[in-house]
Structure formats: C-alpha cells, structure tokens
C-alpha cells in the first residue's frame, strides 16, 4: 500500500465509534478498569472478569477496594494522592484478590482520567503475573539448592566468560582461595 493510500485509510478510521473502542478494550486479556476518584468502579472489561472472577454486573458501582487484600489496603490512599495530582503510576507490582479469595500477583498501570483539565477518575490496566512470579521463585529456590549442594560436594565447578576468564568457581574441594582465580584464565594460572 502506497503512502497516500495509507493516509486515506487512516483518515477513514481516525474517529473510532464508542462501539469500536469498547470492542478494543474487551479484546484485551489484561484487566482494564475505570474508576471514579472516590474509588467507584465504572468500567470493567472481559480481561478483568477473567483475572478477578467478577462479572461487570457484580462490580460496577462497587468500591475498587473490593480487589485489595487486607494486607494491602494502605496502597489505595497513596495511589489516590498521586492521581489527584494528575500523576501516572506505572510498573507497579502488587497483590490483589480474586472473587474466590485467592491472591493474585499483578503488574498495574494507573492513569488519571481528566475532563476539562480536572482529574475525574482513573484507568487501571492490570496484568496477572502470578505464573511468572511462581516460576521466578522456583528458579531462585533451585539455584539456592544448587549452590548449597556445590558447597558440600567434593568437585570443582566453574564458569568462564568469552575470554575464558573465570567468573565463578566452587571452592569446597580446592586448597587455594577461589578469589585468587576469579578474573584469570587457565593460561595465567598454569604457565606453559
């Protein structure tokens, strides 16, 4: 498609209808929630239903605090202060609560909604990161067990960078200090 035709097509679709915007929001797997400045939920997409377990009919008109577990209730006033100043909250990881009571790890972005320059509400986009958090914790525990096992093992395990310099070495079976080896190559350690 040439440049002129792209511009014509873009102009034809430049003003999406409310139906187009709703379809776009509902197509997202992320929760997209609208709320007023007093915390009342005014918009709830299909992604929010999937993540939190509530239908739109169950939450519209309810307080956003419904999703916040008791241990995290102090977050709401701090977020509201930022929004009142018109500030954007991005890259925020926290815990929220599903309808059935189980906790969900989420990454949240909150943007102030303005009308005539005044903040009247907020748009919250939340992504469920529970699976990623669990995988990260499993990897951390596995690495910890591996390091503990290496400390007790009578073997030497090491890693080297692209220049063949030692970057890490287990030291339980060594008579020399591993720190004297880090950063050096085999050629530097064993001349000839």
Same domain, 144 and 70: no
Structural contact between residues 177 and 162, judged by C-beta atoms closer than 8 angstroms: no
Using only the alpha carbons of the chain, give its radius of gyration: 27
CB 31 within 8 A of CB 126: yes
Q: Are residues 125 and 137 in the same domain?
A: no
The count of domains in the chain is 2
User: For the whole prediction, is pTM greater than 0.75?
Assistant: no
150 and 104 share one domain: no
Same domain, 90 and 47: yes
Give the domain extent around 76. 3-129
Q: Are residues 35 and 9 in the same domain?
A: yes
Long-range CB pairs of 91-100, under 8 A, 24+ apart, other chains included: 93/129, 95/69, 95/71, 96/52, 96/67, 96/68, 96/69, 96/72, 96/126, 97/52, 97/66, 97/67, 97/68, 97/69, 98/51, 98/52, 98/53, 99/52, 99/53, 99/54, 99/58, 100/53
- Mean pLDDT on 88-94: 91
Q: What percent of the chain has pLDDT over 90?
A: 53
Q: Are residues 108 and 22 in the same domain?
A: yes
Residues 67 and 100 in one domain: yes
Q: How confident is the model at residue 13 (pLDDT cuts 50, 70, 90)?
A: low
Tell me the per-residue pLDDT of 23-76, one tens digit each, with 9 for 90 and over: 777 778 899 999 999 999 999 999 999 999 999 999 999 999 999 999 999 998
* Banded model confidence at residue 1, pLDDT cuts 50, 70, 90: low
Shortest CA distance to 181 belongs to which of 191, 166, 192, 163? 166
Confidence bin at 109 (pLDDT 50/70/90): very high
- Domain C-terminal end among 111, 129, 147: 129
Q: Are residues 165 and 93 in the same domain?
A: no
Q: Are 8 and 51 within one domain?
A: yes
């Amino acid at each position: 498609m040439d440049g002129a035709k792209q511009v014509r097509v873009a102009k034809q679709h430049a003003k999406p209808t409310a139906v187009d915007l709703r379809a776009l929001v509902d197509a997202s797997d992320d929760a997209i929630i609208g709320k007023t400045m007093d915390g009342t939920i005014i918009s709830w997409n299909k992604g929010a239903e999937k993540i939190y377990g509530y239908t739109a009919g169950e939450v519209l008109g309810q307080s956003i605090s419904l999703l916040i577990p008791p241990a995290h209730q102090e977050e709401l006033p701090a977020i509201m202060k930022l929004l009142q100043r018109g500030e954007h909250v991005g890259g925020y990881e926290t815990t929220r609560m599903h309808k059935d009571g189980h906790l969900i790890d989420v990454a949240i972005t909150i943007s102030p909604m303005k009308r005539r320059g005044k903040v009247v509400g907020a748009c919250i986009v939340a992504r469920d990161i529970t699976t990623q958090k669990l995988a990260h914790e499993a990897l951390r525990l596995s690495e910890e067990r591996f390091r503990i096992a290496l400390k007790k093992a009578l073997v030497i395990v090491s890693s080297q960078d692209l220049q063949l310099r030692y970057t890490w070495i287990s030291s339980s079976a060594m008579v020399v200090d591993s720190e004297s080896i880090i950063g050096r190559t085999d050629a530097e350690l064993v001349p000839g």
